[in-house]
Structure 1
Amino acid sequence: MKTKQTVLTTSLLALVDLPRHRFAGLDGGLCAAGAKSLGAVAADTEEGNAAPVDVLGICLVSSGGAIAAGAEVESDATGRAVVHAEGVSNGTALDAATAAGDIIRIVRGI
C-alpha cells in the first residue's frame, strides 16, 4: 500500500466529475495533456462539489502507462501521469508504473 505525505491540500470547485488520483486542472476540470495541474485529486468528487486537491508534497496519481522511478511526469488528456515529453512537468515519480492505472507516488513542488 502506498501512502501520501502532503504539505498542502486545497479545495477546488469541480466543473466535471473528478476521479481520485488524477491531475486536476487549474480551471476545476481534469488537467489537459501537457498542461500545468493544480495537483492530484485526493477523493472522488462529483461535478459542482469541492474537490480536495493535493498541491504540494508526496501525492498519489494514476499512471497512463509505464513510468520509471525518478522520471518526471506530465498529465495526459485524462489527467493521468505519463512520462514528461513536451508539456509541463507536474512532478517526479517515486515509484515505477508498469501499466496504465497503476497508482504511484510523485513528489510535487511549486
Structure 2
Amino acid sequence: MREGSTTGDRPYKCEACERAFARNEELTRHRRIHSGDKPHACDLCARRFARKDHLGKHRKTHLDEAHKRVHVCSQPGCGHRYTRTDALTRHQWTAHAIRRCSRWQPPVI
C-alpha cells in the first residue's frame, strides 16, 4: 500500500504551522512557504520559483507570439484569447457558466 494512500493518515506535520500531509514530498514543498526557498530559477530572467511546475508555466511567457498556442473562447460574440487552457476554462466557467459536468470545478490559477 502506498504511503498515506487510502487511510487518510497525514503523518508528515509541518513544525512551523502544524499542517499535516500524507506524503513527505508534499511537506517538503510546503516548507518552502515558510523558508522562502525558491530553488527553481528561470534561465531567461531573474525570476525564481518554489515549485518546478510554476517555473514551467512561467517559461511559456518567454515564447514569442508566433510560437504561443492561443486558445480562443468559442462562445458567440466573445473571442477572448488565452495562452493557457486553464485560463480559458476559468473564463468559460465565470463568464459563460460552461461546465463539463455537474461535479466539475474550475482550476485554481
TM class by shorter chain equals: under 0.3
Considering Cα pairs closer than 8 Å and 6+ residues apart, tell me whether 1 or 2 has the greater RCO: 1
Structure 1 or 2: more helix by fraction? 2
Larger CA Rg, structure 1 vs 2: 2
Structure 2 length as normaliser, TM-score? 0.24
Structure 1 or 2: more strand by fraction? 1
